[in-house]
């Protein structure tokens, strides 16, 4: 009995050598428990060792195996071949990012924006270690927990038409993580972080398409974080008029 197979059409591109990307078809064994990443690993190990892509944990945690699968941003470790029968399956690098080689994209733009929003706890003064940890109630944890689930996979950027049209846009994941720390009861960096989120290239550039939340593999809902940050920015603006010397700390 012939082995069941499925075809992957994989983007191949070496910017220094190729004028433009091309698709290369590979026929791989079909297994109902295989994901697209398994198929790529089969190609890499058994067919063409020059195929280049990123992956690490294969558990939907590291976020490194994000690619376009049939035009949709996906973690390839969670995209089952059975969901794309009978094929072919088109595998491309994440949209809107410069390609380094094949399916590997340059993420430096994203990393720079992530650093800008300061996704870490900022304190004016640190309490001494003898005072113990900074405690939170379950309600305080729940306030930001959803937005802390981001794994920096950048699928939301590849789905965001605003980022595609305006690369200066800070983008969904960075804004969501900035918002996450603004909500943290242990943080005192709102006055540093929120002005960055509220810049012209920040939350106000979002037109609320919502695709960022639709493709998020962890249910972070960056679209909600962006809209709530707009509300916070509007409140700050009104307070600056009514209470020029006051406002939020």
With cut-offs at 50, 70 and 90, classify the pLDDT of residue 245. Answer: low
What local confidence, expressed as pLDDT, does residue 8 receive?
98
pLDDT, average across residues 117-121: 97
Q: 108-242: what fold?
A: Fumarate Reductase Iron-sulfur Protein; Chain B, domain 2 (1.10.1060)
What local confidence, expressed as pLDDT, does residue 38 receive?
98
Q: In this structure, which long-range contacts are made by residues 193-196, counting pairs with CB atoms below 8 Å and at least 24 apart in sequence?
A: 193/117, 193/118, 193/122, 194/229, 194/232, 194/233, 194/236, 194/248, 196/116, 196/117, 196/118, 196/170
Q: What are the two backbone dihedrals, phi and then psi, of residue 8, each rounded to the nearest 5 degrees? A: -110, 130
CATH of domain 5-105: 3.10.20.30
The structure's pTM equals: 0.92
With cut-offs at 50, 70 and 90, classify the pLDDT of residue 2. Answer: low
For 9-43, the pLDDT digits (tens) are 999 999 999 999 999 999 999 999 999 999 999 99
Residue 89: cis peptide before it, omega within 30 degrees of 0 = no
What local confidence, expressed as pLDDT, does residue 239 receive?
83
What local confidence, expressed as pLDDT, does residue 7 receive?
97
For 41-52, the pLDDT digits (tens) are 999 999 999 999
What angle do the packed helices 190-197 and 172-182 form, to 10 degrees? 150
Domain ranges, ordered by start, for the chain: 5-105, 108-242
For 200-216, the pLDDT digits (tens) are 999 999 999 999 999 99
**Residues 67, 76: Cα–Cα separation, whole Å:** 7
With cut-offs at 50, 70 and 90, classify the pLDDT of residue 104. Answer: very high
The answer to whether residue 174 scores a pLDDT higher than 80 is yes
What local confidence, expressed as pLDDT, does residue 248 receive?
52
What local confidence, expressed as pLDDT, does residue 127 receive?
87
The answer to whether residue 54 scores a pLDDT higher than 60 is yes
For 134-144, the pLDDT digits (tens) are 999 999 999 99
């Amino acid at each position: 009995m012939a082995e069941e197979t499925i075809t992957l059409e994989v983007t191949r591109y070496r910017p220094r050598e190729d004028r433009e990307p091309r698709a290369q078809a590979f026929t791989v064994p079909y297994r109902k428990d295989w994901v697209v990443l398994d198929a790529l690993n089969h190609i890499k190990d058994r067919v063409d060792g020059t195929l280049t892509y990123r992956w690490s944990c294969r558990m939907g945690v590291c976020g490194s195996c994000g690619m376009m699968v049939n035009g949709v941003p996906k973690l390839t470790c969670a995209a089952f071949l059975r969901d794309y029968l009978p094929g072919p399956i088109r595998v491309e690098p994440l949209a809107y990012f410069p390609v380094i080689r094949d399916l590997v994209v340059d993420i430096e733009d994203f990393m720079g924006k992530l650093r800008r929003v300061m996704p870490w706890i900022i304190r004016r003064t640190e309490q001494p270690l003898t005072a113990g940890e900074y405690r939170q109630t379950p309600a305080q944890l729940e306030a930001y927990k959803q937005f802390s689930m981001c794994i920096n996979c950048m699928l939301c950027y590849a789905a965001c038409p605003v980022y595609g049209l305006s690369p200066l846009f800070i983008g969904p994941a960075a804004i969501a993580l900035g918002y996450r720390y603004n909500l943290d009861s242990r943080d005192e960096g709102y006055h540093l972080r929120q002005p960055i989120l509220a810049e012209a290239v920040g939350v106000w550039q979002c037109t609320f398409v919502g695709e960022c939340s639709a493709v998020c593999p962890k249910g972070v809902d960056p679209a909600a974080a962006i809209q709530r940050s707009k509300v916070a920015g509007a409140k700050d603006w009104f307070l600056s008029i009514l209470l020029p010397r006051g406002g939020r700390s």
